[in-house]
Amino acid sequence: MVHVMPSGLQVQLRKWKLGDRKLIKNTQLVRQGLLIPRLLEHLTENLVDPGPYSEKDLRIGKSKGMTMSWDNVAWQDTSYAIAKSRGDTRDALAWSQPCIFCQDIMTIAKKLSTLHSNPTTPEGIAHLRTGEPLVCYAGLSDEDCIPYHTREDAVAAGLDIDDIARFSMNILRTRLMPVVFKLRRESPNGDLSLMQTCTQIAELVQPDGKVLTDYEAILSFMEEDGLNVEKAVDTFVSKHSGGLEGSFEHVCSSCHSAQDVALPFGPEFFMM
Ligand SMILES: [Zn+2]
């Protein structure tokens, strides 16, 4: 089946075979966060249209028996591809996870074909094409956590100029997933989504003009300034990346609490 990714990248993916299970059971790949790109390399039959990616990005024909590399593809395209490829074999998935409120095991059923997806914006496509970071501004005391394209927009919206920070963001490439997984192994109690957000920040200019480019410095700044900033930059990157809706609402059948759940992109996703 030919699938068109949110960025416009078009690939033909074959269906799963029993032999693919060997890869899925490779715990080393899972631990490194490389299962999905390696699996896609096995499933890619044909590159139909590179979309915004260069030949160098996709290293076409470089590796033996491989149609393209997924390492330099944006994570939104990669996760979209794997969900679509899974859906070609079986559309209706069901998995179990504990309720975050009562801890009872919930069974979640989802049809992959019903997942909503957004296209990459023209700004996001230009970013993937040129590698120039996407720039957004966010107010550090802005409770509504709205990101702005320019500092002037932020001021016009009523933010105090002394509270506005500038973020140069990179859409997360698949090759950075091992970095995110390594960070998680090193600080198992850390917030994975915050780590992922910080990995995408190439440069952060504080309201006082201080420039941060070091991951640790960015992480401690973000930890201090709280969830509003993280949410603002996440909203900005998600909007421009496009892709599958990150999570959806599920109501626990034991305690009837509604909560956001996400597709389980671990080995179980491929074994269901
Ligand atoms: Zn519950």
Q: How far is the CA of 99 from the centre of ligand 1 (A)?
A: 5
The predicted pLDDT at position 99 comes to 95
Please check whether residues 73 and 86 belong to one and the same domain: yes
Q: How far is the CA of 110 from the centre of ligand 1 (A)?
A: 18
> Looking at the structure, do residues 229 and 267 belong to the same domain, yes or no?
no
Least confident interval from 129-133, 143-147, 221-225: 143-147
Q: Is the model's pLDDT at 66 over the cut of 90?
A: no
Confidence at residue 189, expressed as pLDDT on a 0 to 100 scale: 79
pLDDT at 143 over 90: no
- Residue 49: pLDDT band (50, 70, 90) is very high
Q: Give the chain's domain count.
A: 2
- Taking the centre of ligand 1 as the mean of its atom positions, its distance from the CA of residue 259, in whole angstroms, is 9
Q: Note whether 40 and 137 are same-domain residues.
A: no
The whole model's pTM is what?
Answer: 0.87
Give the pLDDT score at 224. Answer: 84
**pLDDT interval class at 272 (50, 70, 90):** low
Same domain assignment for residues 42 and 110: yes
Domain span at residue 230? Answer: 122-241
Do 107 and 188 share a domain, yes or no?
no
- Give residue 45's pLDDT band: very low, low, confident or very high (50, 70, 90): very high
CA of 96 to the centre of ligand 1 (A): 12
Confidence label for 167 from pLDDT (cuts 50, 70 and 90):
very high
Q: SS3 letters for the chain?
A: CEEECCCCCEEEECCCCHHHHHHHCCHHHHHHCCHHHHHHHHHEEEEEECCCCCHHHHCCCCCCCCCCCCCCCEHHHHHHHHHHHHHHHCCEEEEEEECCCCCCEEEEEEEHHHCCEECCCHHHHHHHHHCCCEEEEEECCCCCCCEECCHHHHHHCCCCHHHEEEEEECCCEHHHHHHHHHHHHHCCCCCHHHHHHHHHEEEEECCCCCEECCHHHHHHHHHHHCHHHHHHHHHHHHHHHCEECCCEEEECCCCCCEEEECCCCCCHHHHC
**Both 127 and 204 in a single domain?**
yes
Q: How far is the CA of 97 from the centre of ligand 1 (A)?
A: 11
pLDDT of 106 strictly over 90 = yes
pLDDT of 86 strictly over 80: yes
Which pLDDT band holds residue 25 (cuts at 50, 70, 90)? confident
Cα(257) to centroid(ligand 1), Å:
6
Confidence of residue 33 (pLDDT cuts 50, 70, 90): confident
| Domain co-membership, 184 together with 267 | no
- The pLDDT value recorded for residue 64 is 65
pLDDT at res. 135? 96
**CA 111 to centroid of ligand 1, rounded, Å:** 22
More confident residue, 269 or 120: 120
Calculate mean pLDDT across residues 35-60: 92
Q: Are residues 105 and 93 in the same domain?
A: yes
Do 66 and 155 lie in one domain? The reply is no
Let me know whether 131 and 236 are in one domain. yes
What per-residue confidence (pLDDT) applies to 271? Answer: 74
CA of 75 to the centre of ligand 1 (A): 31
The CA 98 to ligand 1 mean position distance, Å, reads 8
Say how many Å lie between the CA of residue 193 and the centre of ligand 1.
23
Q: Are residues 213 and 253 in the same domain?
A: no
Residues 250 and 115 occupy one common structural domain: yes
Model pLDDT, residue 61: 62
Instruction: List, for residues 243-264, the tens digit of each pLDDT value.
Output: 998 688 999 999 999 999 988 8
